[in-house]
Structure 1
Amino acid sequence: MPGFRPFAIAAALFAAFAPPAGASQDAGLPGSFLLQPAGGRGAALGGVYPALVSGPDSAFWNPAGLGAVKKPELALAQSWLLEDTGHSFMGFAYPGWRGIGLAGAYIRQAGDGYERRTGPFDAPRSFSVGSEAFMASAGRKLTLAGLSAAAGLTFKAVRQFVDDSSGGGWGADAGVLAGPWRGLTFAITLKNLARPSFAVLSREITYPSGINYAAAWSGRLSADLDYSAGFGLEKYERGGADLSAGAELAYKGAAFLRVSAGPDGLASGAGLKAGNYSLDYAVFLNDFAPVHTINLGVRFGITMDELENYIKRGISRFDRQDAARLAGAYLQQAEMQHKAGDVTRAVKTLETALLWDPADEAISSRLEKYRAELDDKISGQVIERTRALAGQYYARGDFIASREYWAGVLSLDPGNAEASGYIAGIDERLDRGQKDLLLREKAEEAKRKAYALIEEASALLRAEKYAQAAARAKKALQVLPGDAQAKSVVAIAERGLALSLEKRLGRAAELCDAGAYAKALEVIESVLGDDPGNKEAAERKRICRAALAPSITEAQRKALEKTYYMAVDSYLKGDYTAARGRVGEILDADPLNDSALKLSEKIDAAGRGRR
């Protein structure tokens, strides 16, 4: 057919379509568009990159790298090859469950501007030639013989087209990583482990299998400078083995220089990273035209390691804005700890966050919620231990001891149906004599506790701690309603408390009249400690606080605010002497500063704990 020859020529051109950055002896291999490096960092590092990859481009280079993905990441890359020919890569990676990372990627290489004629005198018509691949990958971190490792698998659907004719098939790649061990990481990637096979323009195409070995050393040259360097060896069916080497220098994890060398030329590149954004550039120099690649990476969210590094840097300007950002970092860390089930650490982290931003209601409410959860968790642990002991004694046939422990479970969880059921069952199994003995023992134990409370109340009465004495005596009366000693203690304590409150309120009034508001406030606080609902004391407190409130200028407020943040910083670093001195400066200027007063209590508690 006279019209078929141009298509045959185009098919031959397509089969020979070779990326300039690929190995020359592999250029004619089916599927050679997948030899063109994907992404800016990989294009600059070459064959060593399968041992270093950890993002969306893992789907192309080594799916085992997905085991290191810690947060969602999007990568977009574009390479400019020959005239009118481009190579595009787009990938998205997501951290899955139990160390499994997932990724999807799309690669397309296409050229326009080709022309064909049906006959020698016909006007030319342009057409395009290209290839594309859709990839779905998964990788998982592993531990083998105490060493870190990872394995991954990529499934891919490939398609090649010439004008309006096309064909496609399915294939798979696999990869493993081992390390780092003393800074050394090994990688093996099997390309086309399952080989795509299809026909285009009546021509059968089967992608060849290949294997890549890579090893990389990573370490630190100085406090700000890290390095990675290594080599790669790649071999495809019907092709020669390609050996390459590459290296990368990283400055503070934010600026990067890269270089690599292979059998077909040199590549170099640079990268910048700021927060969740990265920009990478690479250029490959060969016998044709330079191949330029640009890569944009966007990550989403923040990891625990990033939060910890941010928190370690601490506060620099000691102002409200900087402190609020640091408090926000602690809040995020607490949420991650809570999500991981570590409620105790989450509570401690939120307490620290509240020191940096005492007025943040979101932190306060979250702290209250987590504290309630922690209380429930601790209570649940106590219930579970008591329940286990009750079950053990029941299994031994010691029903009286088992009943006591089940009663303990009910005291902590009154609605516990299991405990109620066991107690009812035990009561049915006990004979009359055992029940009487149990009742007598319970009564004697209750009496012992009641008499102990009366003794405590009497001692508190002698110390003129009337409110505490009355509370304990009333608790004893719940067990011994007619006990004369308990009634006497209650009566004496209530009279003493009334007289003490009257006396202290009078003293507070005298101090207020004399202008000694600080001392008056101390007396009033003691009254409210014994009688929280005392309206006269509450009113006196309001008056004293208003009188004590200093007249502070905006400049003085900012200075005190900075001193407070410096005090918090010293406290968190364990320098309690410096923290206490700075809190003292604040309280000298503003005796009612709530944040400083609370911090002072924490500093004193920490100091006592250290002793």
Structure 2
Amino acid sequence: EDASAIYWNPAGLSALKYTDISSFYTSPRRDTSYGFTGIALPTKDSGNFGTGVAYLDTRDTRFINERYDTAGNSGVASEFMAVFSYARNVSRYWLGGANVKFIRQSVYNKSESGLGIDLGGIYNAGDRLKLGLNVRNIIQPAVRQKTRDTFYPVDITLGCGYRLLPADTWTLSLDVNKTPSRDVKFLIGNEFTLWKYLNLRAGFSDTDLNAGLGFRIYTPFGLLGIDYVYARSNDAASSVYPDTFHGAGFNLRFGERMSVEASLPENESELYEVMRIATEKMKKIRGDAELLVPGITQPFKAEKTDEPQQDMKDVIRELIRKYSGMAHESFNKGEFTESIQHWKVVLNLDPENIDAFSYIDAANKNIEQLGKEKLVNIKQKKIDNLLNQARYYEIKGEMREEFNVWQNILALDPENIEIKNKIRDKISKLKTRIRELTETRYAEGLKKYQNGDLQGAIWEWEIVLKLNPAHLPARNAMEKAKAELALKVR
């Protein structure tokens, strides 16, 4: 979704919401250089436009004459291409685009030129899945060589992209490419975004392997991207084809949203006031009872019949751009609730906005995940507090209280195998220790009772009942001792 879509699939230009400049350079073969520079320009109603130039230079090329004799001639073979692109949304799900390109080929001081057309399409199959088709040279450029025309072959690529994670953080792609002179070629790639500004990329096919990275930074001129790619080819037929090569490029995205925000309302109350005033004006002009304030009763409805309505439509469109920008900014900051609120304003203005549905879904999932993480953190804090309590009771020798604390810890996290084993081992040892201590104290109470120390016996049996409230012999003996002690006091 930048100016490089001119090359990959012109339909991708229709998704642009900013002016975009892209440039790239590489040297895929020894003494060969390739470069591309393009610019894409979005419009309000007329679709998006793009234009670009590409060149390919091959030096020290040895030329062959009609008798297949090199004749010792060598020089520069080059190719220049100028492209003019157009793309627009065909429907909510379909995007379409086309290239008209002028190609000039120069070989050994002789130049010929031709015209060709590319067609591309993209289908939004869901929130995370996109399917694309690009047919290069559907109208084939023809370059005159000697007494005959040489046609550029039709090049067909069918591809799909799937976002594994929301907000475009991890995307997988698969392309299938076919030309008349080559078997079907499969290309697999993926891109992972870290911290919103760093992109890691990797891809491979049956003959190539590549990896790259991109860095994004905001500048006074717009969002600047710098990209690098390293590629390795296993299709090296001779020494003139290097095993590895490098490429670098930049991308500058600017305009539209920054220029629009300066003149738009700063909060939702101002938004509704603007919409109220505009709606009242439209009612007077049209007498249309369906023109209501978006977000209060129902979405805005109007027919394209006169200039005042077109002005209203422009206001709506600019408000959509502003609140989309605010929603994106909130999402990237992790303010998911605020992002959802902004996207809901967008949906009130444009009930079929695909980005709004996609990002609201992603924001809700992030909120759900954050809620789960918060619960986990709260539970872990409770477990930590209980562990401290268990250690406290262990030091004081209050085994019954320590036993209860360990039981509470196990109830909080019954699926934690490691802590479960530790707790069960601890509980087992505590049970054994409590049972031993209970019998020891009970026996000590019997000795004191037999020696006439009724108060001492009662004290021992009280400890027994604290350790094991269900110890019936200790309870009966203690009641008997208390009764005898009461008679002595009388």
TM-score, structure 2 length as denominator?
A: 0.51
State yes or no: 1:263 paired with 2:206: yes
Quick check: 1:133 aligned with 2:61?
no
Deviation at 1:180, TM superposition (A): 4.8
SS in 2 for 1:83: coil
Q: How does 1:9-408 map to 2 (within 5 A)?
A: 54-98=1-45, 100-114=47-61, 127-143=75-91, 148-220=93-165, 226-275=169-218, 276-286=223-233, 287=236, 288-289=241-242, 290-301=244-255, 303=257, 333=261, 335=263, 337=264, 346=265, 348=267, 377=278, 380=281, 383-384=284-285
Root-mean-square deviation (CA), in Å?
3.4
Q: Secondary structure at the match of 2:281?
A: helix
| Deviating 4+ runs (over 4 angstroms) | 114-118, 123-126, 347-352, 373-379, 381-385
Question: CA 1:334 to 1:298, structure 2 compared with 1: closer, same or farther past 3 Å?
Answer: closer
Q: Which has the higher helix share?
A: 1
Distance 1:75 1:349 in 2: 36
Shift in CA distance, 85/203, structure 1 to aligned 2, threshold 3 Å? farther
Aligned-pair CA distance for 1:108: 0.3
Q: Quote the residue 2:398 is aligned against.
A: none
Q: Which amino acid aligns with 2:171?
A: S
Q: In the superposition, relative to structure 1, how do residues 350 and 127 fare at CA in structure 2: closer, same or farther (>3 Å)?
A: farther
Corresponding pairs, count: 275
Give the match for residue 403 of structure 1: none
1:283 and 1:291 in contact (8 A); partners too: yes
Q: What is the CA–CA distance in structure 2 between the aligned matches of 1:129 and 1:101, rounded to whole Å?
A: 34
Following the alignment from structure 1 to structure 2, what is the Cα–Cα distance between the partners of residues 183 and 176? 17
Q: CA deviation at 1:74?
A: 0.8
In 2 relative to 1, CA 113–226 (structure 1 residues): closer, same or farther, beyond 3 Å? same
Give the aligned residue type for 1:138.
Y
Q: 1:350 to 1:298 in 2, by over 3 A?
A: farther
Q: Which amino acid aligns with 1:107?
A: A
Q: Is the 8 A contact 1:333 1:349 kept in 2?
A: no
1:183 is aligned with what amino acid?
R
Segments of 5+ residues of structure 2 without an aligned counterpart are 66-70, 290-337, 339-490
Q: Distance in 2 between matches of 1:187 and 1:378?
A: 40
Matched residue type, 1:142: V
Aligned residue for 1:461?
none
Amino acid at match of 2:207: D
Q: Deviations over 1:279-303 (max 9, x none)?
A: 1111220134212111111112253
- Residue range with higher mean Cα deviation, 193-202 or 107-116: 107-116
Question: d(CA) in 1 for partners of 2:260 and 2:140?
Answer: 46
CA distance in 2, matches of 1:374, 1:68: 27
Q: CA separation in 2, counterparts of 1:110 and 1:168?
A: 16
Does the aligned pair in 2 maintain the 1:165–1:201 contact within 8 Å? no
From the superposition, tell whether residues 379 and 93 of structure 1 become closer, same or farther in structure 2 (CA, over 3 Å). Answer: closer
Name the structure where strand makes up a greater proportion of residues.
Answer: 2
Cα displacement (A) at 1:83: 2.4
After TM superposition, give the deviation of residue 56 of structure 1 in Å.
Answer: 1.1
Any gaps of 5 or more consecutive residues in structure 1?
A: 1-53, 308-330, 338-345, 353-369, 390-572, 574-611
**2:63 & 2:279 partners in 1: Cα distance?**
79
Q: Is the 8 A contact 2:135 2:154 kept in 1?
A: yes
User: What displacement does 1:124 show?
Assistant: 7.7
1:131 Cα deviation from its structure 2 partner: 1.2
Distance 2:280 2:251 in 1: 47
1:428 corresponds to which residue?
Answer: none
Q: CA deviation at 1:137?
A: 0.7
Distance 1:379 1:130, change over 3 A: closer
Residues in 1 aligned to 2:181 and 2:149: alpha-carbon distance in whole angstroms: 17
SS in 2 for 1:181: coil
Per the TM alignment, residue 266 of structure 1 is displaced from its structure 2 partner at its CA by: 0.4
Q: Distance in 2 between matches of 1:113 and 1:169?
A: 25
Q: CA deviation at 1:263?
A: 1.6
Partners of 2:37 and 2:54 within 8 A in 1? yes
Q: Taking structure 1 as reference, are residues 377 and 184 closer, same or farther at Cα in structure 2, changes over 3 Å only?
A: closer
Shift of 1:79: 0.6
Paired letter, 2:94: A
d(CA) in 1 for partners of 2:203, 2:51: 27
| Counterpart residue identity of residue 108, structure 1 | Y
Task: Give the letter for the 2:254 counterpart.
Answer: F
Aligned with 1:240: secondary structure? strand
* Whole-angstrom distance in 2 between the partners of 1:231 and 1:388: 50
> How far off is 1:348 after superposition?
4.2
Kindly tell me: are residues 378 and 90 of structure 1, through their superposed partners in 2, closer, same or farther at Cα, counting changes over 3 Å? closer
Residues 139 and 379 of structure 1, relative CA distance in 2, 3 Å threshold: closer
Deviation for aligned residue 1:384? 4.4
- Say if 1:108 and 1:381 are closer, same or farther in 2 by CA, change over 3 A: closer
Distance 1:227 1:379 in 2: 46
What amino acid maps onto 2:75 in structure 1? F
Identity %: 20
Q: 1:351 to 1:116 in 2, by over 3 A?
A: closer
Report how far residue 347 of structure 1 moved.
6.7
The amino acid that maps onto 1:333 is E
Give, in whole Å, the separation in 1 of the partners of 2:56 and 2:251: 20
